[in-house]
Amino acid sequence: MPQLLLEIFSEEIPARMQQGAARDLERMATERLKAAGLTWDGLTTYAGPRRLTLVVDGLPAATPDREDEMKGPKASAPEQALEGFLRKTGLTRDQLVERDGVLFAVISQQGQATPGLIPGMVDQIIRNFPWPKSMRWGSGTLRWVRPIKRILCIFDGHVVPFEIDGIPSDAITEGHRFLGSGAPFAVSDFVDYRHKLEREHVLIDVADRKLRILEQAKAACAAKGLSLVDDDGLLDEVAGLAEWPTPILGDMDPQFLSLPPEVVRLSMKVHQKYFAVRDPSKEGLAPNFLVVANVEATDGGKALAAGNSRVLSARLNDARFFWDEDQKVGFDAWNAKLSGVTFHAKLGTLAERVERIAALAREIAPLVGADADQAETAARLSKADLASGMVGEFPELQGVMGGYYARLAGQPDAVADAIRDHYKPQGPADTVPTAPVTVAVALADKLDTLVGFFAIDEKPTGSKDPFALRRAALGVIRLVLENGVRGSLVEMMKPAGTMIIAGRKMSADTKYSADLLAFFVDRLTVLLRDRGQRHDLVAAVFALGDDDLVRIVRRVEALAAFLATDDGANLLAGYKRASNILRAEEKKGPVPTGMVRTGLPNQPEPETALAFAVGAAQTAVDIALDAEDFAAAMTALAALRAPVDAFFTDVLVNSDVVEERENRLKLLGQVRDVMGKVADFGQIAG
């Protein structure tokens, strides 16, 4: 079966766009092949620094013949309707077919040779390609991410001839810019293409490029007893910057190891796209770097390693300049600068925010077992590094630099650590701080953000969350849960709200807490769902009015375990039945409540048994809940399962005898009430 091979060869495509382009090419080719009525066995795309490649295997030589029937007007329809239909189909009246009084047009299309369809498809793909940014070049009008140099298009071993904006198709491509033979060459099919390109030092598949980088980088490190510091993001990027990626280990002036390792790594990564290297026998980084070059240099890479090393030294000299200068400035001057930096027009300057966080951290400190003075100090210093030279250069180092500078300024470790880590956790994969002072500042930082933006009604909507409030809320939840911070969330937010409303002179009835609480419940639900919990259980527990996250989660966990048992599932069914009956009764009028009577004449045994069981369960549930022993509360409820089942099997609630009926309704009411102390079972899907 014939194969289609397409290569669009251009000047260097930005690394960050390549893999998206491979996906777009796959999607667009699939859509257009389908629309042309073609079928195929396999379709693959590749993207690299200078080329996009599409290979489609198992295409037919031609599309099948097709007959499409189009429904027209009724045979009795007025003349205009018929004329319109004839115009649309290009047929005459006697070519139409009549069936059940309706006219049909049969449009037959002869199959077309596949090669004839390809030029139009390629033209459409190239002209409509969704590059994030595209450009014109020379005097032409075509747009592409960078100038297109060649188009290779082969179907079944033959060139598919066409031209796009003056660029003719051909069977010719070229190899690596520096390592290739320098002469363009012809290929016959994909295997030949891939093979010849590899001989010309081009790996078209990003997976091959990554593999080559990792294998050679690790080998280069291992040869010197060192190990590579993995960085997947960097690997993705460098794999898009070289057609023949060649790792070279270079030496770094060891004097720079006195800089914080974060600074060295970031300077290497952001500016130079180097991997950092470690000596497994020592702390910190090794005085080396790993650069992924696009050339196998004729001197084995000596000159380019030396060149890169000099450039890195210049970069690290800049970093050391910031490091030294920053230490001459210090926290007071930085904090003073923060009063000139707006955090948000409606929420004031960073200096105002720091004041609030400091007061809030002090309030939270006792809840997390932190020293209140240390928490306040750490919070007061927490944003100062935003005004430092180093963070100005490397915003990613916020917090980290503050931590270093605080330690150098003689702050105790607890304070310095809190400054360093108070932005954590930054995402679901990030670790959660456990040091008490850090937890206090981290909570204060996030609560001020959340309360502030909710108070000014800047809540996330749909996919829009410009202030990363979802992340902040998840951060609060994880800090609270993983550190077992007990207390009411609403109470924890209150001082933040009071300060923001007073400090920003907002209306006294500014509301935030109900929406924010609901937002937290949402985030908690998502978090528990990601951990495999049922989402309806959070709502069932939250409906009880509790806002102690630790307790909510414990309840949810106990409830989930209970519902997974036979007793739990059956009791839930019993609950639903009871509450359905009660709801129906409530519609008719007030449902009797109060003491359930036992020992009535002719009272069925299951009724008496349930009455006693409910009484016992009430006591046991109360005791268990007081002790926050939710497993015990569930066990107490489990004891109701058999009596409830027996009651529904043997007793008719709707007795003709009014007293019997009322007593049974009261009994069901008590079942519902006692279960309702543990969770709102009505919210749980049965």
We find the least distance from the C-beta atom of residue 390 to another protein, in angstroms, to be 17
User: Looking at beta carbons only, is 155 or 274 nearer to another protein?
Assistant: 274
User: Looking at beta carbons only, is 268 or 633 nearer to another protein?
Assistant: 268
Query: Which strand (E) or helix (H) includes residue 52?
Result: strand 51-57
The residue among 101, 109, 88 whose CA lies nearest residue 37 is 109
Among 71, 127, 195, 310, binds another protein (CB under 8 A): 310
Q: Name which of residues 329 to 358 contact another protein (CB under 8 A).
A: 340
We find the least distance from the C-beta atom of residue 198 to another protein, in angstroms, to be 19
370 is a site residue for another protein (CB under 8 A)? no
Phi and psi at 80, nearest 5°, equal -60, -40
Among 70, 149, 468, 622, binds another protein (CB under 8 A): 149
392 is a site residue for another protein (CB under 8 A)? no
Q: Name which of residues 189 to 248 contact another protein (CB under 8 A).
A: 241-242
We find the least distance from the C-beta atom of residue 466 to another protein, in angstroms, to be 21
Q: What's the token pair of residue 413? A: 């470790």
Select from 24-32, 117-125, 306-314, 574-582 the region that touches another protein (CB under 8 A): 306-314
Strands (E), 136-234: 148-155, 158-159, 163-164, 167-170, 172-173, 185-186, 227-228
Among 67, 79, 283, 299, binds another protein (CB under 8 A): 299
Among 312, 624, 644, 665, binds another protein (CB under 8 A): 312
For the chain, what is the largest distance between any 2 Cα atoms, rounded to a whole number of angstroms?
Answer: 108
Q: How far apart are the first and last CA of the chain?
A: 55
Size of the site for another protein (CB under 8 A): 44
User: Looking at beta carbons only, is 216 or 598 nearer to another protein?
Assistant: 216
Q: What's the token pair of residue 397? A: 């180092």
x-or-dash string of contact with another protein, 490-529, rule CB under 8 A? ----------------------------------------
User: Looking at beta carbons only, is 241 or 541 nearer to another protein?
Assistant: 241
Total Cβ atoms within 10 A of residue 683:
14
We find the least distance from the C-beta atom of residue 318 to another protein, in angstroms, to be 8
Q: Are 292 and 256 in contact (CB under 8 A)?
A: no
Among 70, 297, 569, 591, binds another protein (CB under 8 A): 297
Residue type, 234: L
What SS3 class is residue 438? helix
Residue type, 330: G
Beta strand pairing call for 158-159 and 102-109: unpaired
Q: Name which of residues 260 to 289 contact another protein (CB under 8 A).
A: 272-274
Among 307, 369, 392, 686, binds another protein (CB under 8 A): 307
The residue among 504, 486, 487 whose CA lies nearest residue 496 is 504
Among 191, 303, 564, 627, binds another protein (CB under 8 A): 303
Among 11, 26, 192, 680, binds another protein (CB under 8 A): 11
We find the least distance from the C-beta atom of residue 488 to another protein, in angstroms, to be 41
Phi and psi at 601, nearest 5°, equal -65, 140
Q: Are 385 and 334 in contact (CB under 8 A)?
A: yes
x-or-dash string of contact with another protein, 103-142, rule CB under 8 A? ------------------------------xxxxxxx---
Residue type, 295: V
21 is a site residue for another protein (CB under 8 A)? no
User: Looking at beta carbons only, is 120 or 300 nearer to another protein?
Assistant: 300
User: Looking at beta carbons only, is 307 or 686 nearer to another protein?
Assistant: 307
User: Looking at beta carbons only, is 313 or 570 nearer to another protein?
Assistant: 313
328 is a site residue for another protein (CB under 8 A)? no
What's the burial of 603, exposed, middle or buried (CB within 10 Å: 0-12/13-18/19+)? Answer: middle
We find the least distance from the C-beta atom of residue 296 to another protein, in angstroms, to be 9
Q: Report CA-CA distances (Å) from 485 to 395, 477, 662.
A: 31, 10, 46
CA separation for the pair 378, 375 (Å, rounded): 5
Counts for the chain of helices (H) and strands (E), in that order: 25, 18
The residues with which 144 forms a beta bridge, in sequence order, are: 135
74 is a site residue for another protein (CB under 8 A)? no
Among 16, 127, 224, 486, binds another protein (CB under 8 A): 16
User: Looking at beta carbons only, is 53 or 294 nearer to another protein?
Assistant: 294
Q: Report CA-CA distances (Å) from 401 to 58, 357, 420, 674.
A: 58, 19, 7, 55
Angle CA(646)–CA(652)–CA(656) in degrees, nearest 5? 155
Q: Are 606 and 649 in contact (CB under 8 A)?
A: yes
User: Looking at beta carbons only, is 146 or 677 nearer to another protein?
Assistant: 146
User: Looking at beta carbons only, is 144 or 519 nearer to another protein?
Assistant: 144
Among 147, 184, 366, 487, binds another protein (CB under 8 A): 147
Among 183, 314, 429, 595, binds another protein (CB under 8 A): 314
CA separation for the pair 11, 9 (Å, rounded): 7
User: Looking at beta carbons only, is 99 or 310 nearer to another protein?
Assistant: 310
465 is a site residue for another protein (CB under 8 A)? no
Among 154, 235, 291, 338, binds another protein (CB under 8 A): 291
CA separation for the pair 218, 397 (Å, rounded): 27
294 is a site residue for another protein (CB under 8 A)? yes
Q: Are 459 and 380 in contact (CB under 8 A)?
A: no
Q: Are 272 and 305 in contact (CB under 8 A)?
A: no
User: Looking at beta carbons only, is 84 or 340 nearer to another protein?
Assistant: 340
Which residues 6+ apart lie within 8 Å of 161 measured at CB? Answer: 119, 168, 169
Cis (ω within 30 of 0) for the bond into 590? no
Q: Name which of residues 165 to 184 contact another protein (CB under 8 A).
A: 177-179
Chain contacts with another protein (rule: CB under 8 A) = 11-12, 14-16, 133-139, 145-147, 149, 177-179, 241-242, 272-274, 291, 293-295, 297-299, 303-304, 307-308, 310-314, 317-318, 321, 340
